[in-house]
């Protein structure tokens, strides 16, 4: 076991977490520069943009095997290395480097998505819910930093890949810190070797639905909110600001989710209130004008909390870190694979009108609440 104080371990966990979205969200603001400099078509850029989400779904299942082989901390170190390597590969100004680097980044983050909540649970069982809220908030913060800084960095340095280099360098520093702290301590592994499958437990699939539906919601809204608002007469700048407010509103909410759930009493009560707030936000978006910003707050706060709810349910419903690892891999692997369909279904419904596509979003919000209700019925998820 490591000799570090708990606060130092928490700092290392949060440093690694800060690397888990920024390298991906840094790409979008650079789309124009990348397509121009590398001569990419829209489909070629779209492939690069789709790789991380595909990797999240496909490679989440590799995390438990890696934890059994290398230990929990050892597996985190391995995938931090994959993430940093992908970051450096992507600094080369070529399309193959962009694809390979982005794929490696997606693989690294996919596994860390599964492993890091389990690492959090092993630190302090009594405060797992609060710590997972902080963890989720830092994940969101990472994404915000990546989106906000990539274009200014490129403009400042006149080097499009400068943001990629900055994230790669930060990843290398985090990897070095983890090697120094945990290089000789692989972390818990014996129990992970005996971790049984949870796929036959209905509660596991309820939690998987909670994870997958919240992912589907955020990817769909992030892709389609600005275009929709512009059809309502909102300027492009205001539509972008509404999306940013939607994302930022989720940061404090995610940190406070555990306290909110305890205050509400039954788990289903907090999940119902989150869903009602999200539905209210969706309605305010349809009003246009200044109401869109109120809508972004009302929808954005539960958006941040929904991911925290998924992680808190994983921690509460499993008796050991081994079981949580299996549930985390199942729910995130299946969940992210399904989440990629959200923007496509929304687009497929557009010929019937924006109202039909927005109704699809409302339907998913209701399904999420029902999935939360189903998950709350199980006091424990076990083989």
Q: Residues 140-183: pLDDT tens digits? A: 888 888 877 888 898 899 898 999 999 999 999 999 999 998 87
Concatenated DSSP letters for 129-198? HHHHHHHHHHHHHHHHHHHHHHHHHHHHHT-TTHHHHHHHHHHHHHHHHHHHHHTT-----HHHHTPPP-
Q: List the helix and strand counts (H, then E) for the chain.
A: 18, 0
For range 208-223, the mean pLDDT: 88
Question: What are the tens digits of pLDDT across the range 98-126?
Answer: 999 999 999 999 999 989 988 888 877 76
What token pair was written down for 62? Answer: 């590799």
Question: What per-residue string of b and e applies to 319-357 under the rule 16 or more CB within 10 Å gives b?
Answer: ebbbbbbbbbbbbbbbbbbbbbebbeebeebeeeebeeb
Count CB atoms within 10 A of the CB of residue 222.
18
What token pair was written down for 180? Answer: 């120094």
Least confident of 90-94, 331-335, 361-365: 331-335
Residue 337 has a pLDDT of 83
Question: What are the tens digits of pLDDT across the range 27-74?
Answer: 877 878 888 899 988 778 878 877 888 888 888 888 888 888 888 899
Helix axes 95-123, 6-17, angle to 10 degrees: 150
As a whole number of Å, the CA-based R_g of the chain is: 20
Q: Considering only CA atoms, which of 279, 278, 309, 323 is closest in space to residue 375?
A: 309
What is the C-alpha separation between 329 and 341, in angstroms, rounded? 19
> What's the topology of domain 6-376?
Growth Hormone; Chain: A; (1.20.1250)
Residue 123 has a pLDDT of 78
What is the C-alpha separation between 311 and 333, in angstroms, rounded? 14
Question: What are the tens digits of pLDDT across the range 124-140?
Answer: 776 778 888 888 889 88
Better-predicted residue by pLDDT, 199 or 195: 199
What is the C-alpha separation between 100 and 90, in angstroms, rounded? 7
Question: Residue 381 pLDDT more than 80?
Answer: no
Residue 248 has a pLDDT of 86
| E strands present in 233-354 | none
Better-predicted residue by pLDDT, 302 or 61: 302
Give me the residue spans of the domains in the chain.
Answer: 6-376
Residue 193 has a pLDDT of 44
What token pair was written down for 367? Answer: 């399904």
Question: Residue 362 pLDDT more than 90?
Answer: yes
Question: Residue 261 pLDDT more than 80?
Answer: yes
What is the C-alpha separation between 55 and 38, in angstroms, rounded? 23
What is the C-alpha separation between 299 and 247, in angstroms, rounded? 9
Residue 197 has a pLDDT of 67
The alpha carbon of 312 is separated from its chain's Cα centroid by a whole number of angstroms, namely 14
* Range of 54-68, 268-282, 299-313 with top mean pLDDT: 268-282
Question: Would the CA dihedral through 297, 298, 299, 301 be positive or negative?
Answer: positive
- Quote the DSSP letter at residue 201: -
Question: What are the tens digits of pLDDT across the range 12-22?
Answer: 999 999 999 88
| End-to-end alpha carbon distance in the chain | 28
Question: Residue 196 pLDDT more than 70?
Answer: no
What is the C-alpha separation between 361 and 80, in angstroms, rounded? 34
The alpha carbon of 101 is separated from its chain's Cα centroid by a whole number of angstroms, namely 19
Residue 356 has a pLDDT of 93
Q: Considering only CA atoms, which of 228, 323, 327 is closest in space to residue 282?
A: 228
**In the chain, % of residues over pLDDT 70:** 94
Residue 191 has a pLDDT of 52
Average pLDDT score, the chain = 86
């Amino acid at each position: 076991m490591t000799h570090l104080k708990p606060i130092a371990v928490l700092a290392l966990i949060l440093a690694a977490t800060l690397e888990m979205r920024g390298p991906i969200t840094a790409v979008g603001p650079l789309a124009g520069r990348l397509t121009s400099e590398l001569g990419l078509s829209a489909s070629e850029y779209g492939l690069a943009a789709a790789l991380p989400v595909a990797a999240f779904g496909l490679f989440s299942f590799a995390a438990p095997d890696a934890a059994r082989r290398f230990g929990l901390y050892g597996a985190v170190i391995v995938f931090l290395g994959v993430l940093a390597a992908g970051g450096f590969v992507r600094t080369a100004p070529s399309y193959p480097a962009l694809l390979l680097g982005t794929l490696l980044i997606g693989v690294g983050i996919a596994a860390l998505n599964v492993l890091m909540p389990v690492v959090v649970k092993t630190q302090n069982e009594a405060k797992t819910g609060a710590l997972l809220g902080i963890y989720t908030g830092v994940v969101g913060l990472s994404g915000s930093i990546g989106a906000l800084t990539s274009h200014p960095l490129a403009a400042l340095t006149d080097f499009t890949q400068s943001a990629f280099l900055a994230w790669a360098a930060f990843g290398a520093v985090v990897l070095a810190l983890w090697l120094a702290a945990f290089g000789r301590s692989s972390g818990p592994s014996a129990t992970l070797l005996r971790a049984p499958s949870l796929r036959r437990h209905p509660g596991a699939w309820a939690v998987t639905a909670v994870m997958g539906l919240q992912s589907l919601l955020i990817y769909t809204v992030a892709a389609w909110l600005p275009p929709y608002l512009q059809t309502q007469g909102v300027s492009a700048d205001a539509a972008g600001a509404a999306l940013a407010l939607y994302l930022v509103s989720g940061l404090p909410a995610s940190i406070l989710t555990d306290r909110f759930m305890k205050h509400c009493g039954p788990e289903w009560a907090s999940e119902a209130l989150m869903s009602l707030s999200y539905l209210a936000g969706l309605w305010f978006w349809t009003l246009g004008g200044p109401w869109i910003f109120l809508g972004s707050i009302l929808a954005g706060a539960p958006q941040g909390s929904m991911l925290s709810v998924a992680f808190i349910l994983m921690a509460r419903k499993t008796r050991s870190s081994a079981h949580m690892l299996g549930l985390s891999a199942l729910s995130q692997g299946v969940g992210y694979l399904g989440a990629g369909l959200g923007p496509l279904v929304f687009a497929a419904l557009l010929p019937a009108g924006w109202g039909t596509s927005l109704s699809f979003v409302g339907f998913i919000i209701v399904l999420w609440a029902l999935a939360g209700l189903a998950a709350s019925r199980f006091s424990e998820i076990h083989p």
